[in-house]
A and B are shown apart, each in its own frame.
Chain A
Amino acid sequence: AQSVTQPDIHITVSEGASLELRCNYSYGATPYLFWYVQSPGQGLQLLLKYFSGDTLVQGIKGFEAEFKRSQSSFNLRKPSVHWSDAAEYFCAVGGGYQKVTFGTGTKLQVIP
């Protein structure tokens, strides 16, 4: 069965500092991997996705993620966090036309 683990429930970073959110997945075949961001009471916005090819993928808002098959990881990074990045971030895994399985999310707090 596919699953996603986000070990950090809550992370606090200073504005301007770098960010890395961890994600580990379990999937039987080549995974399709996603990162979504959700502000309180809002919908899901896709930050980036990995299907194949280059293992370092660039997304919107200056985010990037690196797929590491050997570690079953797909960590999200941003070099310099802005106050507007405060939100909840969900890693997700799916494949083809199958369901997407989400992690439990990491809430990001940005302090001045």
Chain B
Amino acid sequence: EPEVTQTPSHQVTQMGQEVILRCVPISNHLYFYWYRQILGQKVEFLVSFYNNEISEKSEIFDDQFSVERPDGSNFTLKIRSTKLEDSAMYFCASQPRSSYNEQFFGPGTRLTVL
């Protein structure tokens, strides 16, 4: 069964460094999302992406964040200058065209900012 994959599974970085989190959505899906979960808290929406454009973004998704679908298969989340509070589990999700389908979540990337 097709799955959303994410790499790396765990990334450790220094404060102020740039990080890129990578996701490979399910191949025939058209809608893509990033969520994050700070340790011990609920999952929060960051951004949705369709047709090479951001459809919606939360107030968390400020100028330090960007998303890209560089090659038609990968979907990336970039954090330009990481802060301690960016430490979280980041989940990618994808969704097919039919609205009667849930978003399929990847296993997550745990980002630790030191």
Chain A residues with CB under 8 Å of chain B are: 32, 34, 36, 41-44, 46, 49, 51-52, 90, 92, 94, 96-105
The answer on a CB contact under 8 Å between B105 and A97 is no
Residues of B contacting A49 with CB < 8 Å?
Answer: 102
Residues of B contacting A100 with CB < 8 Å?
Answer: 33, 35, 45, 93, 103
The answer on a CB contact under 8 Å between B42 and A97 is no
> Which stretch, B14-22, B48-56, B64-72, B76-84, touches the partner chain A?
B48-56
Residues of A contacting B102 with CB < 8 Å?
Answer: 32, 34, 46, 49
What are the 5 closest A-B residue pairs judged by CB atoms, nearest first? A99-B45, A43-B107, A102-B43, A96-B99, A104-B42
**Complex: how many Å from CA A97 to CA B33?**
10
**Complex: how many Å from CA A32 to CA B45?**
16
The answer on a CB contact under 8 Å between A98 and B43 is no
The answer on a CB contact under 8 Å between A43 and B44 is no
Most buried by A among B43, B50, B99, B106: B43
The answer on a CB contact under 8 Å between B42 and A99 is no
**Number of B residues, CB within 8 Å of A:** 25
Q: Could you give, for residues 13-37 of chain B, a 1 whenever the CB lies within 8 Å of some chain A CB and a 0 otherwise?
A: 0000000000000000001010100
What is the interface of chain A mostly: helix, strand, loop, or mixed? loop
Q: How far is the CB of B8 from chain A (nearest CB, A)?
A: 14
Given A43-B105, A51-B100, A99-B33, list of 5 further CB < 8 A pairs? Answer: A44-B43, A92-B43, A97-B55, A99-B56, A103-B42
B95 within 8 A of A: yes
**Complex: how many Å from CA A104 to CA B38?**
11
**Complex: how many Å from CA A44 to CA B50?**
22
Residue of A nearest to B108 (CB): A43
A102 in contact with B44 given A32-B102, A97-B31 (CB within 8 Å): yes
